[in-house]
Amino acid sequence: MYSAAMGTNETSERLVEATRELLWERGYTGTSPKAVQRAAGAGQGSMYHHFAGKRDLALTAIRRTAEEMDAAAGAVLEGEGSAYARIEAYLLRERDVLRGCPVGRLTMDPEVIADPELRAPVEEVLDRLRARLAAVVREGPESGGPDPEETAAAIVATVQGGYVLARATGSPAPFDSAVRGLLALLAPLKPSH
């Protein structure tokens, strides 16, 4: 009985992970149930045993991806160091730039954007990211400095736009250049010693 339950959980987990990868690679529209089943090594019956259908499975996968993105950003932005150091660490953390952002990728998918429930985790994680970044900017030494919300929006836009530029050129150079430029603009947040 215990091993059967474990097998059930393993199958569900394989389906979610396969869906996450396919959503990142192909988007929602390009991810078919058959492709998920093939990638997960699961049959149609297993998929529909665990999930009501493609949308239900995709929602679970999108939520998990959003949660991971949120946790990774939180670990850096709520960590130790000056405001500038934490933003710099967030911007310079290792990313698979040429694959793009697994959450940002979903904003380009018309079916995700048209479906409020599928769109909600994407919207929520980007809102939390902007809020975290704004809170960090507020901690900076510049009283009366840049508007925290606008600065946070610019940081998120630079990262997401950097992914687009990198993918368009097939090189991480545009992403790296955008990050370096943004860090230069954020220099007033550096503590003066």
21-78 pLDDT, tens digit per residue, is: 999 999 999 999 999 999 999 988 888 889 999 999 999 999 999 999 999 999 999 9
Q: 3-class SS at 31?
A: coil
Tell if the pTM clears 0.85, that is, is over it.
Answer: yes
When divided into structural domains, the chain yields a total of 1
Name the residue range of residue 173's domain: 2-189
Question: What are residue 87's phi and psi, to 5 degrees?
Answer: -65, -40
Work out the average pLDDT over 80-94: 95
Whole-angstrom distance, CA of residue 4 vs CA of residue 103: 33
| 103: its two tokens | 């959450």
Give 106-139 pLDDT, tens digit per residue.
Answer: 999 999 999 999 999 999 999 999 999 999 999 8
Tokens of 16: 């979610």
pLDDT of 83 > 80? The answer is yes
Secondary structure (H, E, C), 72-132: HHHHHHCCCCCHHHHHHHHHHCCCCHHHCCCCHHHHHCHHHHHCHHHHHHHHHHHHHHHHH
pLDDT, tens only, 155-172: 999 999 999 999 999 999
Cβ 26 vs Cβ 106: under 8 Å? no
CATH number at residue 37: 1.10.357.10
3-state secondary structure of 59: helix
